Structure 1
Amino acid sequence: MLYNTTVDKYIRGRRAFLNFSHTEGYLKDNPFDRVAKIKSEQRIVETFSKPQIKALFDAPNKQKFTGYRNFLIMMVLLETGIRVSEAEGITIPNINWRERRIKV
């Protein structure tokens, strides 16, 4: 099953290619000019409340290595906005302690 956003993405891609072809003179007109955009419903993603975030950060046992590690991973995710898959790829050489930077 294709969703409206997926179909709209395909339409936009083809429209862009055909606009380029028209601009460069390969086409007399763009056939996608007659294709309407598909409206999809806007989804509002609920965020965590402050008490929920506090509960999440209080959950790991910071007295143990794994708890402290989990707490630090959560802090990196929150402070940088990187994806979990990007955080998984961080290695020691990617961390510049002096400049306080992480290469993602």
Structure 2
Amino acid sequence: MGTVTIGPVSPVSKQGEPDSIPYPDAAFVVRNLATGKKIKAVSDKDGLFQILVPEGRYMLESESGGMQLPFLKPVEVEVIKGSFTEVVVSFDSGIR
């Protein structure tokens, strides 16, 4: 379970304003590093997601697999049996 964000949201950071915001309807894949099996994930309207997977190591990565924007730098996650793993997935908007 986790949160998906996108940022930066402005080419100039301003004190007191967030550099990233929740990213609704963001699609990405969760790839099991042992088997290569992929599961598609999509965040909800608030940028939240939850996926039930067995214990193991996973890579969260862009659905396209490329560097097109918005870009998701792959995130490696270890899921431990009997617990939830919280993760923040951050997409780069390309705004500079």
Task: Give the TM-score normalised by the residue count of structure 2.
Answer: 0.17
Which structure shows the bigger proportion of residues in strand conformation?
A: 2
Larger RCO, structures 1/2 (Cα 8 Å, 6+ apart)? 2
Which structure shows the bigger proportion of residues in helix conformation?
A: 1
Indicate the structure (1 or 2) with the bigger Cα radius of gyration.
1
